[in-house]
Amino acid sequence: MNKTKKLTYTAIIAAITTASSTLIYIPLGFAKAFPIQHLANVISAVMLGPAYAVLQAFLTSTMRNLLGTGSLFAYPGSIIGALLASILYSKTKNLELTAMGEVIGTGLLGAMATYPIGILFLGQEATLFGLIPAFTASSFVGALLAYVVLKVLVRNKAINQVLN
């Protein structure tokens, strides 16, 4: 797939993900869990690769923050999850590992990365382990949805048409 097509898909996925953020989210006090972001991260990881998956996560987090539907916690969770999922997919081509990469990247590593943001910008000290269960649950739901969608696309040989 050429760069123009990848950039176009990145923009479309980020736009759809941002638009749906007003409809589907789980409020967690000062943060919001957003399973559709994790679905988008896994699909971007498979379709677009690491650079574009991270760009999609960054664009979506930025637009959600600008629209007031996201928080600063969206950045580390979505970006780390998208990066780990896309690296695992590029190395293994295994959808199960890709989905698990999103869950580990967002649910564990991304949630732990929110600690400095919570301390520096929000004065919230409980974020180190407080968000791990919420981020893990949200990323698991989104990654599972993406896994199902991708398995259907693979079974119907539709993914090849998108990738080529």
Residue-level pLDDT at 117: 79
CATH classification of the domain holding 40:
1.10.1760.20
Residue-level pLDDT at 156: 86
| pLDDT of 50 above 80 | yes
Residue-level pLDDT at 162: 66
Total count of domains within the chain = 1
What tokens were used for 37? 């972001």
Residue-level pLDDT at 85: 97
| CA atoms of 126 and 102, how far apart (whole Å) | 23
Residue-level pLDDT at 150: 94
| CA atoms of 77 and 136, how far apart (whole Å) | 10
CB proximity list for 99: less than 8 A, separation 6 or greater: 42, 85, 143, 144, 146, 147
| pLDDT of 160 above 60 | yes
| CA atoms of 59 and 98, how far apart (whole Å) | 21
pTM for this predicted structure: 0.89
What tokens were used for 83? 């990066």
What is the three-class DSSP state of 26? Answer: strand
Residue-level pLDDT at 28: 65
Question: Domain span at residue 83?
Answer: 3-163
